[in-house]
Amino acid sequence: MNTTTMALHDTRPGAKPGFFHRLSRTAAGLLLGLLLTLPAMSAPRPNILLILADDIGFSDLGFMGGEMRTPNLDSLAREGLLFTQFYNTSRCCPTRAALLTGLYPHQAGLGHMMVDRNHPGYRSNLNRECVTLAEVLRGAGYRTYMCGKWHVTKFDGPKDDNSNWPLQRGFEKFYGTIKGYGNFFDPSGLCRQNTYITPENDPDYKPQRFYYTDALSDNAVAFLQQHQKESEDKPFFMYLAYTAAHWPMQALEADIAKYKGRFDAGYDALRKERFERLKKLGIIDPSWPCAATAGDWDTTKRKAWELRLMEVFAAMIDNMDQGIGRIVAQLKRSGQFDNTVILYLNDNGACAEVMGRNRLPTPPEAELKPMAPDALQERIRLPMQTRDGRPVRSGPGIMAGPADTYIAYGLEWANVSNTPFREYKHWVHEGGISTPMIVHWPAGLAPSRRGKIETQPGHVIDFMPTVVELAGATYPREFKGNTIKPMEGASLAPAFSGKAIARPQPLFWEHESNRAVRLGQWKLVAKENQPWELYDMVKDRTEMNNLASAHPERVRDMAAMWDAWAARANVLPLGTWKGN
């Protein structure tokens, strides 16, 4: 008996007489028969909340064995489905382009960063041969909101062409940064709708203390509250793209204090602890060896400085999780939580970049002065100053955290973050492209799947077909007069009920001439100008045993697949990302 019939014909003890009880037996039987021939009432289309974090490693978060306190994400993972072989593209801009469009980044025009190489795959600007998730969902009747980092156009100045800014690519409301990074206490490129603003002149958000991660969370809550007032009857899509925990390492002192002493054991000891927790959690196979530790804690100079960097990194993640908790609370208050698909992932592996670890130049003292409330922060590149006119400090011994510091946490801590994998952001070995991915959806996820680990590979290109299926939307062949390239990914929805993902082709990567292809359990991978390596992802996902010489035919076949993909996906000629 379907739910509609149960509501009309409730014979449970204590139930009030239903509609059928007031009809003659013949009439009731005819009506019941008619109802049973109709399909069961379909559930309302789900809301979709897609959360993307920045520069966080595979094992940093609490539910992945890390030391960071992430109770809200832990809860979503515990009550949802956790993909442990999910992939990004190893860098911020390309991942965002692929996530938004369902295409490989080169197909969307963003094969590298924000420098136009005069090649279709490397234009540093989202092209018109793709559509965004927001454009597709808005066409299906969804309200569309974005908070956070955009970073898919080179035109990111206040007077630049804004045709590829969020509002022009399908979002109705936007609060965030068009640029890719900046000071957390005074972010450059801060924008509401299409207008550049500052933390001091924003009429809609005036906290006692501005911190960008908090600002993104708070504005996301505000958008959800506005949605409830303006269009409660419509589903929504929200894209929340945090900049935590991208350098600079900056956080609130109250959050930093929580981690004082937590990392004192040093690199190798912490990696061993994480490795054991990952095994106990069932996230990695106990038979996989752990990649080597980078750095020797016993001989590390300036231990207090290094520890402070990791404490601030943890605090940045902690603050992000607090904000996610406030967003979840708002969804529960509005009654939207159960039918909201919450998706969480990271944009690349941990970052080994050394920005600010050596002393950066500071502005001449004569140029330093406090900025007016309407003055935009122009000094995002060297040299830099704070809003109140102080020089931004960097280099060994400068304790990270405040607004006047600008430092990355470095390779050794990134190696800890990526336990148990090799390599980092930029590379396409597992440490560069692996992210946990949470799917939380009480109304749609099979009860038997809640709290489970999903080991089928997934990729950011899969979000478009997944969202199209869940929303009952139509992916267009043509949009605003432009022919649109077909989706490259596969819907993840079958995995929500324990079924196989119907992936039509292998998964591919290229970034900075680092390249890879994954076909079933096999992964072929190479660094720039290096020979192909072959790994069995079932037996050796940490990529410690190169089988290329033992399987030359497999290497040849998979390399040919990569070559064919690269030729059709605007990747070639290899090395175009460098320019002339």
195: β partners: 192
Token reading at 144: 């569309």
Catalytic residue among 106, 112, 119, 151: 151
Angstrom distance (rounded) from CA 56 to CA 483: 36
Cα separations (Å) of 322 from 178, 218, 508, 557?
24, 11, 35, 47
Token reading at 567: 């030729």
| CA Rg value for the chain | 25
Count helices and strands in the chain by DSSP H and E runs: 13, 17
Question: Rounded to the nearest 5 degrees, what angle is found at the Cα of 79, between the Cα atoms of 78 and 82?
Answer: 60
Helix%, strand%, coil% for the chain, nearest 5: 30, 15, 55
Token reading at 238: 């929200």
Find the length of the chain: 580
Contact 335, 76 (CB under 8 A): no
Give 241's DSSP letter.
E
Angstrom distance (rounded) from CA 413 to CA 434: 17
147 classed as catalytic: no
Angstrom distance (rounded) from CA 303 to CA 401: 16
Give 176's DSSP letter.
E
Q: CB 6: neighbour CB atoms within 10 A?
A: 12
Question: Rounded to the nearest 5 degrees, what angle is found at the Cα of 53, between the Cα atoms of 52 and 54?
Answer: 125
92 classed as catalytic: yes
Q: Packing angle between helix 303-333 and helix 212-231, nearest 10 degrees?
A: 10
C-alpha atoms less than 13 angstroms from C-alpha of 535 in its C-beta half-sphere: 22
Catalytic residue among 92, 93, 290, 351: 92
Just list the catalytic residues.
92, 151
